[in-house]
Amino acid sequence: MKPNNWTETLLAWFDGFRRELPWRESHPRNPYHVWVSEIMLQQTRTETVKGYFHRWMEQFPTIRDLAQAPEDQVLRAWQGLGYYSRARNLHKAARQVMVEWDGQLPRDRKALGDLPGIGAYTVGAILSMAFGEKVPAVDGNLLRVLARLYGVEEDITGTQGKKTITALAEAAIPADRPGDFNEAMMDLGAEVCIPKHPRCGECPLRESCRALKEGKTEVLPVRKAKAPQKELAAACGLVCREGRYLLHKRPAKGMLASMWEFPMVLDPDPDKARAGLEQLLEGAAGPELWHHRHVFTHQIWHMTGYGMNGGDCPEEGSPDWAWLAPEEWDQRPLAGPHAKLAAWLKKTVDSKEKV
């Protein structure tokens, strides 16, 4: 199979069916827009990202604006997207770009890859889409499409499988339209060559697809089975003092770093989680007022909001603990699951005040 045969077909399809997305609007492409959109799109649906991208650019229209913003503002802008290390790395990288590159993203592969949060895929996306460099952006869509197209039976999550498909992409990517090639692969993978039940009848590459010819579209790509998610009970304490509720800032490192939450204890055993919460707050966990199941990549939290009988701040005066009224919660970046609890609690408080 000659690469240019199917790449020409792919690009012709892309010219007619490309998705209209806000970060694709500028011509030439804005490197900052490419960078932010690609970071947002990691682990997040495109439809969700559209609104966040618009709001982000209103708050931080340039790398300089992002670099100068306080971290809490950046995290609040990201609230709801999850995987908050992405926002923190964007912020750190923006500051580094201001210091080392005078506010302009470097065009050098190594320099880009040295910035916090920018891996090989994002390097390829920025270099190809913003700077016209002949570099593939190897994401899950490209891996899946090329594994099926060429009938690659190696595990695409493994080092060798990625190496094989990256080499195929490097051979196929055209020098005159590298950015369009990468975006066409993304669109094809997102809309047609989807993980389960691919829409082969709509695919512009169906005549060249080895997996389709061999009846392996539901078998390929090969992926190592994921480890099962850890299930945890999350006991959350609702402690109120004169209309203000107790909130806690999570540690600066680790899951949901630096985000705010209602006091919470995690444990596989719900009884132990509840007992741990009572010990933390020195109060008795009262009625179960709220339930929510929150799914992360590696964990599932079964959350319960307890009305506390008594209870106090474990570290009064610490900057990591605060008594805040509901109207003040928006001033702090709330961890996604706790933002849901806050929304429920606000609604409950408002309805009681109206009675």
Model confidence pLDDT, tens digit, residues 126-167? 999 999 999 999 999 999 999 999 999 999 999 999 999 999
Task: Return the pLDDT at 2.
Answer: 47
Phi, psi torsion values for 167, nearest 5 degrees? -65, -40
What tokens were used for 166? 């990256």
Catalytic one among 8, 20, 38, 133? 38
Task: Return the pLDDT at 227.
Answer: 87
* pTM check: above 0.85: no
Instruction: Please compute the mean of the pLDDT values over residues 302-315 and round it to a whole number.
Output: 94
Please say if the pLDDT value at position 313 is more than 80. Answer: yes
pLDDT in tens, 258-283: 999 999 999 999 999 999 999 999 99
Q: Active-site residue 231, yes or no?
A: no
Task: Return the pLDDT at 4.
Answer: 54
Q: By the 8 A CB rule, do 206 and 275 touch?
A: no
Task: Return the pLDDT at 318.
Answer: 95
Nearest to residue 43, comparing CAs of 117, 149, 146, 152? 117
Task: Return the pLDDT at 349.
Answer: 79
Instruction: Please compute the mean of the pLDDT values over residues 202-209 and round it to a whole number.
Output: 97
Residue with tokens 């480890």: 227
Task: Return the pLDDT at 355.
Answer: 30
pLDDT band at 354 (very low <50, low <70, confident <90, very high): very low
The answer to whether domain 3-213 and domain 230-354 are alike in fold is no
pLDDT in tens, 93-102: 999 999 999 9
Please say if the pLDDT value at position 65 is more than 60. Answer: yes
Q: Percent of the chain having pLDDT more than 90?
A: 91
Give kind and range of the element (H or E) at residue 294: strand 283-295
Residue with tokens 């990256």: 166
CATH 3.90.1180.10 is held by the domain 230-354: no
* Three-state secondary-structure class, residue 302: strand
Strand-pairing partners, residue 222, are 155
What is the fold, at CATH topology level, of the domain defined by 3-213? Endonuclease III; domain 1 (1.10.340)
**Residue ranges of domains in the chain:** 3-213, 230-354
pLDDT in tens, 100-123: 999 999 999 999 999 999 999 999
Nearest to residue 159, comparing CAs of 227, 229, 226, 224? 224
Please say if the pLDDT value at position 290 is more than 60. Answer: yes
Q: By the 8 A CB rule, do 235 and 273 touch?
A: yes
